[in-house]
């Protein structure tokens, strides 16, 4: 039995199927308008994203236990074609790929890193991924898993993970792993196969490789084109954009405009929020030139156009985080939008999706109920 199957047994056992701006003007103008009664609100510990994640993870773990890697790849490819996702936007194919590789990651994490022989079990599992890939070379999902296995080994071989006397050899092993991942991926065109997984893995390969940074912008474009509303893509790219050496202010603003235009038909201003949400968490500089009204409107659109309570919770938390960062200088549009979301749009609160304690969330509910006029969102959009 592969070591990874033993990991899958433990994984399967642990999972269950349980399933003063334009906005401010609009608020002031509606202050005397009749108020609707706020919808009943509740708190739930298990949000839909978490429950769907468990179902997907258990299914993949069961297939891992049975050593059915072709079936795993076929299932991932099917989810990838449909871009199936949880209510909060997690793609099924991303969840499944990570679960399929989680056994290898567990072996890597448990290795002492005192000698390269500590990676013996992990290297054996990597060879199994390669063997499965080579037996079905036209299967791009198996190729992705083999390439990512090399990336995982490359990451653990970064010099700072090892004793001083081993660091030169560790660096060589790291570089070799990225070269091998790149060699695998060279035979697969992400756009021709319409595969966000291939595009993502090429992006991650360039991001981690010693000399891959110059390819990041074009690989981001290839990836986002295949799945333009995927928050994970913006989360990943924000780590690169947060380094001022990689992108100028004008470049970032141009990318934000492209993000807005890319999804305007389905998300309104949501693309602008998807772009800036992770960047604001990583870069204080971005706060000096982003448009807070666009950002608030984008989060409002993400919360209301998706019809997902998970998205509404995440949008409200993002607004609350930004208000915390801005302090007393927080633009009124951010607070007005947050209170409207809390009062009018969120019917179920999922504390797991927030970055603040539940008692703070309840304080927001009380504040929204007591201070904000109950205006229609379409009135706000007309004012904007």
User: Domain coordinates of the chain in residue numbers?
Assistant: 21-50+233-384
Say whether pLDDT at 10 is over 80: no
Task: Tell me the per-residue pLDDT of 122-160, one tens digit each, with 9 for 90 and over.
Answer: 999 999 999 999 999 999 999 999 999 999 999 999 999
DSSP string, 219-273: HHHHHHHHSTT-HHHHHHHHHHHTSTTT--HHHHHHHHHHHHHHHHHHHTTHHHH
Closest CA to 61 of 26, 96, 36: 96
Percent of the chain past pLDDT 90, that is, above it, reads: 79
Say whether pLDDT at 15 is over 80: no
Residue 21: what pLDDT? 40
Residue 91, SS3? strand
Residue 370: what pLDDT? 87
Contacts of 368 by beta carbon, 8 Å cutoff, 6+ apart: 338, 339, 340, 342, 343
Task: Tell me the per-residue pLDDT of 52-76, one tens digit each, with 9 for 90 and over.
Answer: 999 999 999 999 999 999 999 999 9
For helices 167-185 and 140-156, angle between their N-to-C axes, nearest 10 degrees: 170
């Amino acid at each position: 039995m592969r070591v990874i199957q033993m990991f899958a047994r433990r994984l399967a056992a642990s999972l269950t199927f349980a399933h003063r701006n334009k906005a401010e003007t609009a608020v002031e103008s509606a202050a005397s308008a009749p108020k609707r009664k706020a919808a009943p609100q509740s708190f739930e510990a298990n949000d839909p994203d978490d429950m769907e994640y468990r179902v997907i993870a258990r299914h993949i773990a069961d297939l891992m236990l049975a050593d059915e890697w072709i079936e795993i790849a076929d299932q991932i490819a099917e989810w990838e074609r449909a871009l199936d996702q949880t209510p909060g936007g997690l793609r099924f194919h991303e969840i499944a790929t990570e679960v399929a590789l989680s056994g290898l990651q567990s072996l890597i994490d448990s290795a002492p890193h005192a000698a390269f022989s500590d990676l013996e079990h992990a290297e054996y599992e990597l060879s199994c991924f390669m063997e499965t890939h080579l037996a079905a070379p036209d299967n791009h999902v198996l190729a992705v898993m083999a390439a990512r296995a090399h990336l995982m080994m490359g990451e653990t071989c970064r010099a700072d993970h090892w004793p001083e006397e081993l660091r030169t050899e560790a660096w060589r092993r790291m570089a070799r792993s990225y070269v091998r991942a790149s060699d695998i991926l060279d035979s697969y065109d992400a756009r021709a196969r319409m595969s966000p997984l291939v595009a993502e893995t090429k992006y991650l390969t360039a991001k981690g490789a010693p000399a891959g940074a110059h390819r990041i912008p074009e690989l981001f474009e290839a990836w986002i084109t295949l799945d333009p509303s995927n928050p994970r893509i913006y989360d990943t790219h924000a780590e690169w954009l947060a380094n001022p050496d990689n992108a100028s202010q004008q470049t970032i603003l141009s990318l934000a405009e492209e993000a807005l235009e890319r999804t305007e038909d389905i998300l309104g201003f949501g693309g602008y929020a998807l772009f800036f949400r992770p960047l604001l968490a990583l870069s204080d500089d971005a706060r000096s030139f982003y448009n807070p009204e666009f950002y608030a409107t984008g989060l409002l659109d993400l919360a209301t156009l998706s019809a997902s309570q998970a998205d509404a919770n995440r949008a409200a938390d993002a607004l609350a985080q930004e208000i915390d960062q801005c302090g007393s200088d927080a633009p009124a549009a951010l607070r007005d939008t947050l209170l409207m979301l809390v009062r009018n749009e969120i019917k179920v609160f999922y504390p797991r999706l927030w970055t603040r304690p539940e008692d703070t969330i309840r304080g927001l509910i009380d504040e929204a109920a007591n201070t904000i006029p109950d205006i229609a969102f379409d009135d706000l959009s007309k004012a904007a």
